Each structure stands twice: as structure tokens, then as C-alpha cells.
A = this chain, B = another copy of it.
Amino acid sequence: MKAWQKNIRSITPYVPGEQPKIKDVIKLNTNENPYPPAPEVIKASAEFDTNSLRLYPDPDATVLVEELSKFYERPADNFFVGVGSDDVISIAFQTFFNSGKKIFFPDITYSFYSVWADMYRVPYECKKLDSDFKMVKEDYYEENGGVIFPNPNAPTGVLESLEEIEDILEHNQDVIVIVDEAYIDFGGESAVSLLDKYENLLVVQTFSKARSMAGMRIGYAIGNDELINAMKAVKFAINSYTMNQSSLAVGASVIANKAYFEETIKKITDTRERAKERFKKLGFVFPDSRANFIFVTHEKYQAKDIFEYLKTKNIFVRYFNTPGIDNYLRVTIGTDEEMDKFFDVLEEFIKV
């Protein structure tokens, strides 16, 4: 080994779901929205002045922050925007988890939390979910360096009630508690309503799921101005201009269209409820999902075999080769047509 090779940081990165480059696939593996973004995006994109690209984007992301501020009816200084909620949470880890004490998150959860903790050398402890994949709130009463969990949880889709979240906040007033609400719009109650009561709460949301804009990379945190300013200082120590001009223009264009947002969500949740029925009929078992995916297992068939079979038919779902959940599949809710094809192939597999 050469000397310079010794000091290269080695890290186990998060492995995202496949982004197949072939066409005509049914892609139910990365919790993307099957519907296009709100029509305002077409206009904003068409009107985008490419000449302005010679200039740096607004580091304060003002147009986007102002729209968010109106939508949530909260002051603009309560918002931190970043390149997807992954960027936002990654910066939150660097900003808030510096006590040297273990942070807590569930053992079955978004796999990036442990990657960020390793990356930023934040000690952590995973708290076991119960047999229904619910958080055991008492586990979070011990002294810790911070708490983070998604609600609904991923990859299970299980929702914690606002009451349970408030209980965790009640018992953790000395640390920052982050509620990662990537999937909240598909059927949960947001913790945003608790922000005025708990100044140590940070709520993170994204444009990638309910707003159909995964391709644009827009995420944001909502919290009091002190938390937000601390995140901004860290962000400005990494890169002054992360959010590019087109993200700002296109992102800001869609927020006000509540009707389209709600209509898309309803289509997806209706399809999800129908999918639950079909999974049940085929003998699958799953925790009740309030997200845009369902986490299913079958007594007779191995998840990995189903996953491989679906792939031969150009249908991609998500399989995690992780102890405890290695007999589950996470299936993103597509359009009705995509789900019909998916279930047809699934029935085919089960019959064979």
C-alpha cells in the first residue's frame, strides 16, 4: 500500500435502489411518485431564462423559501432548504449531534441514518421496534445525544401518532429531535403542529415523494429560527450555493397548487388501499402502511425469489438483504395500471 492510500477514508455507503437504464420497466423500487409534478412546472421550466445561468443562484433560495413560508403560514426564517431531504438531514447531523453521546433511532428504519452517523463519527444506538414494527417510546427516555426517526417509518410504512411523538419530545427536551416526514402526506398527521411547543423539534420534508419532484432534489427542514440559523452556518461552511437556479424556479412554482397536490395523493392512497386487498388475497402479510409503499412478506415464498422473478419481468421492487427484514419486499405504489401488471406477474409466480 502506498502512503497516500492509507489516509483515504473508507466508508460503507448507502446503496440506493437501482435506477435501471432500460425502458419499459415498472419501477416500484425507490418510492417515486407515478404521476408527473403539478402543471405549473411546465410553465416555470419553459420560462426559465438560460442566460441567467451565468450568475450564481440566490444562496438564500428566497423565492422557494417564501412560497414555503406562505404554504405553512410560518415565518421564512423557519425554513432551511437543501438538495433533497438527504442533504438537509445530513447537515442536521453535523449541526446538532455533537454531544459525543449516542443518538437513538429505530433498528429498522431509513438506512442512511447509520451511514451519516458513521460518516460524521456520531455514536448511535438502534432501538428495537416491537413485533408490529412500532417504536417503543420508553426506549427513548434514556439519556442520549439526539433522536431521529421517519414518520411514517421506512421501509415499513408504519405511522406513529402525534401523541406518541409528543411523548418522545416530552422526554427529550435537552436534545434535538428530528422527525423525518418524507412520507407524511400519504396519510399521517405532521409534527409541524408541535413546533411552537417544542423548540428542539426539527421537521424534515421533501419534494421527492408527494410532490413528484425527486429529479429536482429539493428538501427542507422546518424549525425555529435558532435551529435553522445553525444549519445555515454549517451549510455555508460546505457550499454557499447548493440549490441551483432551476430547482429554485421549478420548486417555487408548484407549492401553491394545493388542489393538484391533494388529488395526486388521493390517487396514490386509493391505489394503495386496493393493493392492500390484493396482497391479502395472495396471502401476503404486511404492517398497515400510511406511506406510498407497502412492506410485504409471505409465509410460503422467499422475498428474494419473488424479487428476482419480478426483475426478469422488468418489474423492480426493493429488497433489503438485511437481517430481520430479509424476507420482506418494499413495493412502491405505482399507477393502477402498473399495479395491475405487478399483481398479474405476482400471481403468475405464486401459481408456478
Contacts and interface: CB of A to CB of B under 8 A. Distances in A.
A22 interface: no
Given A8-B230, A174-B3, A16 B53 contact: no
A53 B240 contact: no
Contacts of A217: 57, 241-244
B36 A54 contact: yes
A53 B3 contact: no
Given A83-B242, A90-B239, A246-B244, A214 B55 contact: yes
Interface stretch (A112-120, A282-290, A319-327): A112-120
Interface in A61-97: 62, 83-84, 86-87, 90, 94-97
Contacts of A176: 4, 7
A238 interface: yes
Interface string A1-27: 011111111111111100101000001
Contact of A238 (B46, B48, B119, B234): B119
Interface string A186-205: 00000000000001100000
24 contacts: A2-B200, A7-B96, A7-B97, A8-B95, A9-B94, A9-B233, A11-B237, A13-B235, A13-B237, A14-B236, A14-B237, A16-B241, A36-B53, A37-B53, A42-B50, A57-B217, A83-B83, A83-B239, A83-B242, A86-B239, A90-B238, A119-B237, A244-B244, A244-B246
A35 interface: yes
B33 A41 contact: no
Nearest to A227: B8
A256 B129 CA distance: 53
Contacts of A96: 4, 7-9
A333 interface: no
Given A12-B237, A13-B237, A217-B241, 19 more contacts: A2-B199, A4-B96, A7-B96, A8-B95, A8-B230, A9-B96, A21-B58, A32-B56, A34-B54, A37-B51, A41-B50, A53-B215, A55-B214, A57-B214, A84-B242, A118-B237, A244-B244, A244-B247, A246-B250
Contacts of A232: 13
Nearest to A238: B90
B95 A9 contact: yes
Contacts of A13: 232-237
A300 to B, nearest CB: 33
Nearest to A118: B237
A217 B245 CA distance: 9
A30 interface: yes
Contacts of A237: 11-14, 115-116, 118-119
A271 interface: no
A212 interface: yes
B9 A215 contact: no
A212 B11 contact: no
A321 B94 CA distance: 28
Interface string A205-239: 00010001111110000000011001011111111
Contact of A116 (B5, B53, B99, B238): B238
A289 B297 CA distance: 65
A107 B312 CA distance: 58
Contacts of A12: 237
